[in-house]
Structure 1
Amino acid sequence: MRVAVVGGGMAGLAAAHELATAGVDVLVLEGSDRLGGKLRLGQVGGLTLDLGAESVLARRPEGLDLISAVGLDDRVVHPETITASIWTHGALRAMPPTVMGIPADPEALAASGIAVMPEPRILPAPEHDVSVADFVTERLGRDVLDRLVEPLLGGVYAGHTDQLSLRATTPQIAALGDDLVTAAAEHRAAATASGPVFAGLVGGVGQLPAAVADTDGIEVRLSSTVRTATRTAEGWRLTVGPTTDVETVDVDAVIVAAPAPAAARLLAEEAPDAAFALAAIDYASMAIITFVLDDAVVPEGSGFLVPPVDGTFIKAATVSSNKWGWVGDSGRTVIRTSVGRAGDATLLQHDDGELASRALADLRSAFGTLPDPVDQVVQRWGGGLPQYDVGHLDRVETVERSVAAVPGLEVCGAAYRGVGIPAVIASGRAAARRLLDAGTIEA
């Protein structure tokens, strides 16, 4: 039996791995010239570094499980420091304890000078979905939202809390109950013994896609855009490749692991309700700008977040050479900055030199004097992050119902129930398991 996986990001690769290890022949069709989605390695100043995601959430098992399954567990490392700051009110200020930006220590928040929190309002969570902004502001005030919650979510989703769904993006906040601050303090106390929050790989997490693709039973075709997916009496027929040289591929089942716009196009005929719901999911574009400096010149700490309300160009900076021992061993300072949020399309129309110049100016404002970098790389992620706006989970349920009614079809990816690496791996594995458990395919 043979299954086609449309999309070679981490969700598609995880689905392929799950199927291949069960004895199924898998064909991964990726429209671009490389695998990995938002995982990517590149050269900056002679160093091989992550130009996309650089860590996985260690408190979810799926990422580390897959890393172990493909033989990379001996390279797993944890951050040397996770001491982060907020750059606001003209200074770098130590991040007080929070749960996704909800203060867990009001005294530490007051001492930080980051935000002023009024007396918290004790209110039950609404039964319907609301925006993160509406929920937090009503209970803790706009300053807490703008200077703690917003910068944290901006780093994950590149979105705006006025649009982002509470249920879809911050279920941790919704789960705190009526008294957010008290519950946040209790949650933080309970979490202190839970082990490291994040993990990475010596040499970069961008090694993971190739390691997964090397699994026996997985065939990969790059630069292979899938144009249609149509049910046949025996399974599915895909048309693949440029319009001037279309190839037909017959398979027993299909997992669509493409971003929502491409998935909507492929599902329009066989699962129109799913296609309609997917078409409603917006995406944000952003860029990561990596600088390499010759000397260890940056203060301690893993980096900082920036509240958008302060009007700076960058939204975050990570001092990778402080955060990861294997990067710091180079003897150089490596700083990653991120720019771009939903609706900021014009910002990314600047050329690479302008993006890097403006990002470096912000770094110098935050850190003080910095020497000129020896190298810099701008990695653009156009349409890279799906926006989980209010009502997102209802849209996802519509997609899942529609797809479930079509034998031999599954979907997975960041557009559904989580954008982090473990979440998309879980999405891909679950799609593969549904095919196997349904008996649609035989190992």
Structure 2
Amino acid sequence: MTVRVAVVGGGVTGLTAAYTLRRELGADAVIDVFEADHRPGGLLCTREVGAARLDVGAEAFIVRRPEALALVRELGLGDLVVSPGPLRPALWSGGRLHPLPVPAVMGIPGSAAVLGDLVDDADRTLIDDEPTRSLDWTPGAPVSVGALVRDRFGDAAVARSVDPMLGGVYSALADDLGVAETMPALAKALDAGAPSLTAAVGSLTAASAAVSGPVFGTLRGGYRTLTNALVRASDARMLADSPVTGVRTVPGGYAVESPTGSGEGEYGAVVVAVPPWHAADVLDTAALETAAILGRVRPAGSAVVGCVLAPGAAMPEQSGILVATDAGMRSKAVTLSTRKWPHLAESGPPTLRVSFGRLGEPVTVDDQTLVSWAVDDLAEYFGAAGLPAPTIDDVVVQRWPEGLPHYAPGHLAAMTDAQRALPEGVALAGAAFDGVGVPACIGSARRAAARVVAYLTAE
């Protein structure tokens, strides 16, 4: 009998799962990828902006995690990997640009000195005296980053260093994010008995300093290059504009329900690679307990305004700007794309991205207002760098109303429970299960595919 597998979701996770299934199950397997949007890729979205091509979702991957780099090389794209230049981001606070605190772990400083004048004398004393104060840490307990850092280092360190870093990665504030969920290495150091937050951060920054080479990478041509290669290599049937409303158990496998009528027949197994709140709806018949857990995960939305500046426009001498949450600005970050990525400066006009939105702070204004906010904030940031307000030649707005899952304290334990309750032949994958970054999604997809292959090939 021909093996048939359905993949629900055509983002990088679903595409990687389909590609891995093809490699493992062979050319005769039927692999259908159901995608609700008109295009595959999900948050890997490359848009044309005037004469430029700009990633307006994820823009880079961590090269120190092996999954993304390994996949890129498998697909024959290794020669297209590029690294960022030497410039670092600045931090916006108090109406001016500050150096980004270094060394730090996701904005948690190694000492008061690295925060410079982001904090006052009272905060500096609190931070420097932290190793002398008893640390109340229970291994395995669900603790938010904000609660931990605020208690040990004060409010200013959270708003002006930690929040700006976490906001760019998770679209949420430190008070809403779990330590174990977003900084597992830090949680592990504290679980192992680090006597203070300062000591735990110091051990991690020392280990990081011992590793050479770039931290991030991306692809020439944008992430569209990767998604196109995955579509080709998977040789799956791509069913665009085909949302899945349910998966039912039938004799010998599963039936996938889509209002478009896409897909034919039944499947021996299913990989569900959509955000957890949608996966809850898909699985509320086939896996009720799993669906109940997934349905409690909240989405964190955001929006990106991608801008092409006039040729030759000057930009600050940083790779980007992270914005303190007590700074009174509407934007949360700016990526100075052609400063950050030298290959973009080689082949196109100056480009940048302005980011908005966090968990509980949806971007509900119209596109024109969002662009106006971007223009106003850029004028302030550029002015602080001694530059005129940038002239914007072209602009694109990309909204992600349900962009990322909320990594609350206890989130990962809940996701483990959700996967444990799955029936055989069904696998979950995506940004909710092992981190929101591209490498984590790829690793999640590989594991989901392996679960399905093991089920289908079991004697």
Aligned mates of 1:12, 1:432 — CA distance in 2: 10
- Work out the CA distance in 2 between the residues paired with 1:275 and 1:386: 15
Query: Is the alpha carbon distance of 1:75 and 1:361 closer, same or farther for their aligned partners in structure 2, counting shifts above 3 Å?
Result: same
1:30 counterpart (35, 41, 60) = 35
CA distance in 1, matches of 2:291, 2:390: 50
Q: Deviations over 1:181-202 (max 9, x none)?
A: 2332343233233321100111
Q: Find the partner of 1:288 among 288, 291, 304.
A: 304
Change (3 A) 1:257 1:59: same
Q: Return the offset for 1:61.
A: 0.6
Structure 1 residue 359 and structure 2 residue 348: aligned?
Answer: no
Q: Which amino acid in the other structure matches residue 22 of structure 1?
A: E
Report if the CA contact (8 A) 2:331-2:354 is conserved: yes
| Residue from 125, 132, 135 that aligns with 1:123 | 135
Q: 5 Å matches for 1:292-331?
A: 292-294=308-310, 295-330=312-347
Separation in structure 1 between the aligned mates of residue 212 and residue 42 of structure 2, nearest angstrom: 30
Residue 398 (str. 1) matches residue 417 (str. 2)? yes
Q: Does 1:197 align with 2:215?
A: yes
Distance (Å, rounded) in 2 between the aligned partners of 1:218 and 1:114? 58
Match of 1:158 in 2: 171
Q: 1:419 to 1:58 in 2, by over 3 A?
A: same
Given that 2:52 and 2:349 are in contact with CA atoms closer than 8 Å, whether structure 1 keeps it comes out as: no
Please say if residues 293 and 372 of structure 1, whose CA atoms lie closer than 8 Å, have aligned partners that are also in contact.
yes
- Is the CA contact (8 Å cut-off) linking 1:296 and 1:331 kept in structure 2? no
- Partner-residue secondary structure (3-state), 2:5: strand
Q: What SS does the corresponding residue of 2:434 show, helix, strand or coil?
A: coil
CA contact (8 A) 2:305 2:354 kept: yes
Once residues 306 and 413 of structure 2 are traced to their aligned partners in structure 1, the CA distance between those partners, rounded to angstroms, is: 37
Alignment deviations for residues 348-373 of structure 1 (CA, whole Å, 9 cap, x no partner)? 22221210111121111112122320
Question: For residues 166-195 of structure 1, what are the alpha-carbon distances to aligned partners after superposition, in whole Å with 9 as ceiling and x for unaligned?
Answer: 211222332343322233234323323332
Residues in 2 aligned to 1:330 and 1:112: alpha-carbon distance in whole angstroms = 37
AA at the equivalent of 2:374 = A
Which amino acid letter does the alignment assign opposite residue 404 of structure 2? L
Amino acid paired to 1:213: V
Name whichever of 86-95 and 188-197 sits farther off.
188-197
Equivalent position of 2:401 in the other structure? 382
- Specify the alignment match of 2:430 in structure 1: 413
Q: Is the 8 A contact 2:338 2:344 kept in 1?
A: yes
Give the whole-Å Cα distance in 1 for the aligned partners of 2:235 and 2:348. 41
Q: Between Structure 1 and Structure 2, how many residues are aligned?
A: 436
Does the alignment pair 1:70 with 2:70?
Answer: no
Partners of 1:75 and 1:202 within 8 A in 2: yes
Gap regions ≥5 residues in structure 2? none
Match of 2:244 among 226, 248, 262: 226
TM-score (norm 2): 0.90
Is 1:104 aligned to residue 110 of structure 2? yes
Separation (CA, whole Å) in 2 of partners of 1:260 and 1:385: 10
| Letter paired with 1:200 | T
CA distance in 2, matches of 1:216, 1:385: 25
Q: How has the CA–CA distance of structure 1 residues 289 and 122 changed in structure 2, closer, same or farther, with 3 Å as cutoff?
A: farther
Map 1:38-187 to 2 at 5 A: 38-97=43-102, 98-110=104-116, 116-117=123-124, 118=126, 119-120=129-130, 121-127=133-139, 128-177=141-190, 178-187=195-204
Deviation at 1:419, TM superposition (A): 0.7
Q: CA deviation at 1:389?
A: 1.4
CA contact (8 A) 2:89 2:99 kept: yes
Of residues 249, 254, 257, the one that matches 2:265 is: 249
Q: Which residue of 2 aligns with 1:208?
A: 226
- Tell me if structure 1 keeps the 8 A contact 2:25–2:453: no
Structure 1 357/197 Cα, relative in aligned 2: closer, same or farther at 3 Å?
A: same
**Aligned residue type for 2:330:** F
Alpha-carbon deviation of 1:75? 0.4
Pairing partner for 1:344 from 361, 364, 374: 361
SS at match of 1:238: strand
Normalized against structure 1, the TM-score is what?
A: 0.94
Letter in structure 2 aligned against 1:46? A
Q: Which residue is equivalent to 2:290?
A: 274
Partner of 2:9: 7
Aligned residues of 2:87 and 2:317 also touching (Cα < 8 A):
no
Distance change >3 Å, CA 380–CA 55, structure 1 → 2: same
CA distance in 2, matches of 1:155, 1:132: 15
Change (3 A) 1:10 1:176: same
User: Which of 361, 365, 390 in structure 2 is aligned with 1:371?
Assistant: 390
1:261 has 2:282 as partner: no
User: Offset of 1:136 from its aligned partner?
Assistant: 1.3
1-structure distance, mates of 2:154, 2:117: 18
User: 1:239 matched to which residue of 2?
Assistant: 257
Q: Deviations over 1:63-95 (max 9, x none)?
A: 111111111111000001341111001111001
Contact (CA 8 Å) 1:297, 1:370: kept in 2 or not? no
What is the deviation of 1:112? Answer: 5.9
Shift of 1:338: 0.4
| 1:102 CA drift (Å) | 1.4
Structure 1 segments, 4+ long, off by >3 Å, are 111-117, 245-249
Q: Could you tell me whether the CA contact under 8 Å between 2:271 and 2:448 is conserved in 1?
A: yes
C-alpha separation in 2, matches of 1:209 and 1:221:
15
**Matched AA of 1:257:** A
**CA deviation digits over 1:202-221, x for unaligned, max 9?**
11123211111111542211
What's the offset of the Cα at 1:99?
A: 0.9
2:397 partner SS: strand
Q: How far 1:104 sits from its partner (Å)?
A: 2.1
Unaligned runs of 5+ in 1: none
CA distance in 1, matches of 2:113, 2:233: 52
Counterpart of 1:18?
A: 20
Q: Which of 443, 449, 459 is 1:426 aligned to?
A: 443
Q: Per-residue deviation at 1:248?
A: 4.4
